[in-house]
Chain A
Amino acid sequence: SVVAMPTVSRVAVCGGTHGNELAGIYLVREMLKKRADGTEPVSVVTVMSNPRAAQLCVRYVETDLNRCFTRAALSAPVSETSPYEMIRSQELNALLGPKASAQAVDLLCDLHNTTANTGLCLITYSDRDWICLHICKHLEMASTPVRYVHFDIPLNEAYSLDSVGKHGFAMEIGPQPHGVVRSVIFSAMQEGVQLMMDWICQFNSGTLFEGGWVDVYTMVKNIDYPRDSETHVITAAVHPNLQDRDFCLLHPGDPMFLCFSGETLRYRGKEALYPFFINEGAYYEKGVALSLARKRRVQIPSVRSETLR
């Protein structure tokens, strides 16, 4: 049976949510240069989410913009003295949302880079959003692996910009250092956005997309660096055997950290899990050395856009 879904008429592509993740920033700048001439099959709004941070080439100016989209943050009273990103998240919510309302854009694609060797990931809060899952299935790219990552968090508590759209995901591509644009990463992001737009156009014009199976990685927990109990200073680096091995199954007993003292610390969990965001630069201050996910195959139905009467 085929699931009928509303057309994806309004799309937002956002870059520079973190001002030093350059592939998205340069891609949004290029997209903004092209004037819309009204012949586009889909209405796309292109947004530089955090222009002040992008100008300074820093992740954020006062607080991480991509943690400011919870229901609480979006409804908190703000004034001129509020942190810049708290004001900005409410502006973006007004422009692209409001979150959880009928006025919100149909799909919000938020462009990110990571220092971790993740390839291309679509990161979202749902494991049964057929639009997002079908887009992921469509994004088969020669240049990079494509994976679907799921954070099981209810919409109110969903904290990132992509949660503002009716459907949404972060398109995260690594590895790329912050403050650097690598041409293969830029090209992969450009191709990813193009393939997403191709799917949307085909979907909107009535194409039937066959169901199938998608591997979904659901986040289970984060692991912090080993730290000195008194000073809280990090005492080890991600182990060379784990570094750059995002999405390679981590078994109990596998090396995880190499202490500066020379000792190896091993994964003590009972369950083999999939590590990702291994050694992301921005996460040291959040106390995250890596995240761990469970993988399962999710069956997705065939979908077609519903014909409006």
Chain B
Amino acid sequence: MSSRTNISCLQEAKRVAIFGGTHGNEMSGITLVNMWIQNSAEIERNGLVVKPFISNPRAVEKCTRYIDTDLNRAFTPENLSAPDVEGLPYEVQRAKEINRMFGPKGSSDAYDAIFDLHNTTSNMGSTLILESSTDLFNLQMVHYIKKAMVPHTCSVLLNEHPQLKYSTTRSVAKHPIGLEVGPQPQGVLRSNVFESMRTILKHALDFIELFNSGVEFPPCTVDVFRVQERMDYPRDTNGNITAMVHPHLQDCDWEPLNRGDPMFLTFDGRTVLYEGANTVYPTFINEAAYYEKQQAFMTTCREILAAYAIRKACK
């Protein structure tokens, strides 16, 4: 650390991967990665190697989220250390393989950064998902991307929640970054969503190239939405949902939800109100894949994270 000002000296990020098809029906990432596997010119940068990779090829082939189990929940310590036996769910086998290729998770041999490309049926716009509030490299990168995207908005979701945090495919890398762009139906490619995701990645790779070349990034702050809790649909005793996201909440990702605001509308026309004491910022509102995970939306609270200046560590 310099005595004049706090600058974190960090290792270069030489090995970077871009994952598409972690969910086989989220088409923007699948299309981008397949395109870059054919022709990688657009993702090449000086001073780093960028590998495009289809993480769940069998699910992509069937245009389905997963075959046996959600790959993006499969990178738990138990799964990654499971012995190679017959009958392991496909995605557990795949998680172990990905951990061998791009990890091992938690080790110094792991890839420096992995971008995992996702789409959502929710109206989240362009969202970057972080798993740590103290990863300076990621905070600085996200700050760079947000500035570069202006006037287009890029929201930042931070999931550091002890219970709701999950073992993602990208967590194998030292610096995991989730890209979530919506709204886009499963199995559909929307041009504007595809191009937004493409642009975010362009800026992300530009940042890494600049960082690796020795550029110093001054201290910055990042506005984030921190995950608070998961809200399920009202259900009957058989587990069937009895209400839908209320029209006033539908598509209002990142907008404040206050006590007394409409939240759900039952099939027979009754409104259910939000009863929480504090204002929250909902996200992942009405995501198709989360009906089976008992989630109608997630609540978040706004926070400002600070990052020290960073530059590449001298050898």
Contact = CB atoms under 8 A, between A and B. Distances in A.
B187 A26 contact: no
Interface stretch (B70-78, B135-143, B189-197, B303-311): B189-197
Given A26-B267, A177-B121, A177-B288, A183 B188 contact: no
Contacts of B287: 180
A260 B35 CA distance: 8
B134 to A, nearest CB: 35
B201 to A, nearest CB: 14
B192 to A, nearest CB: 5
A239 B288 CA distance: 25
Contact of A177 (B63, B64, B186, B292): B186
A204 interface: no
A239 B191 contact: yes
A29 B191 contact: no
B43 interface: no
Interface string A271-288: 000000001111011000
Nearest to A259: B191
B186 A178 contact: yes
Contacts, number: 80
Contacts of A234: 31, 189
B276 interface: no
Interface string A222-265: 00000000000110011110010000000000000010100000
A166 B187 CA distance: 34
Interface string A125-160: 000000000000000000000000000000000000
B286 A237 contact: no
B288 A178 contact: yes
Interface stretch (B47-55, B84-92, B107-115, B245-253): B245-253
A266 interface: no
A33 to B, nearest CB: 9
B237 interface: no
Nearest to A183: B244
The CB with the most chain A CB atoms within 10 A, among B64, B188, B250, B291, is that of B188
Nearest to B265: A183
A201 interface: no
Given A183-B250, A260-B31, A237 B189 contact: yes
B286 A180 contact: yes
Contacts of B183: 177
A121 B128 CA distance: 37
Contact of A183 (B191, B247, B289): B247
Interface string B86-126: 00000000000000000000000000000000000100000
Given A177-B186, A281-B188, A30 B194 contact: no
Contact of B190 (A26, A184, A243): A243
B172 to A, nearest CB: 28
Contact of A179 (B34, B268, B288): B288
Given A30-B268, A179-B289, A181-B244, A233 B34 contact: yes
Given A30-B268, A179-B291, A182-B286, A240 B192 contact: yes
B240 interface: yes
Interface in B169-201: 183, 185-192, 194
Contacts of A182: 244-245, 250, 286
Interface in A19-74: 26, 29-30, 57-58
B186 A179 contact: yes
A186 interface: yes
Interface in A176-232: 177-184, 186
Contacts of A291: none
Contacts of A183: 244-247, 250, 265
A259 to B, nearest CB: 10
A280 B247 CA distance: 23
Interface string B251-291: 00000000000000101100000000000000000111101
Contacts of A181: 244
B180 to A, nearest CB: 15
The CB with the most chain B CB atoms within 10 A, among A175, A234, A281, A282, is that of A281
B191 A178 contact: no
Contacts of A260: 31, 35, 194
A281 B187 contact: yes
A237 B185 contact: no
Given A183-B250, A233-B34, A281 B185 contact: yes
Contacts of B292: 57
The CB with the most chain B CB atoms within 10 A, among A30, A180, A181, A281, is that of A180
A279 B187 CA distance: 10
B187 A238 contact: no
Given A57-B292, A182-B244, 16 more contacts: A29-B240, A57-B291, A177-B185, A180-B121, A180-B291, A183-B244, A183-B250, A183-B265, A184-B247, A186-B244, A234-B31, A234-B189, A237-B194, A243-B190, A260-B35, A285-B63
Interface of B: 31, 34-35, 63-64, 121, 183, 185-192, 194, 240, 244-247, 250, 265, 267-268, 286-289, 291-292
Interface of A: 26, 29-30, 57-58, 115, 175, 177-184, 186, 233-234, 237-240, 243, 258, 260, 279-282, 284-285
25 contacts: A26-B267, A30-B267, A30-B268, A57-B291, A115-B185, A178-B186, A179-B291, A180-B185, A181-B244, A182-B244, A182-B286, A183-B244, A234-B189, A237-B190, A237-B194, A238-B191, A239-B191, A258-B191, A260-B31, A260-B194, A279-B188, A280-B188, A281-B186, A281-B187, A284-B63
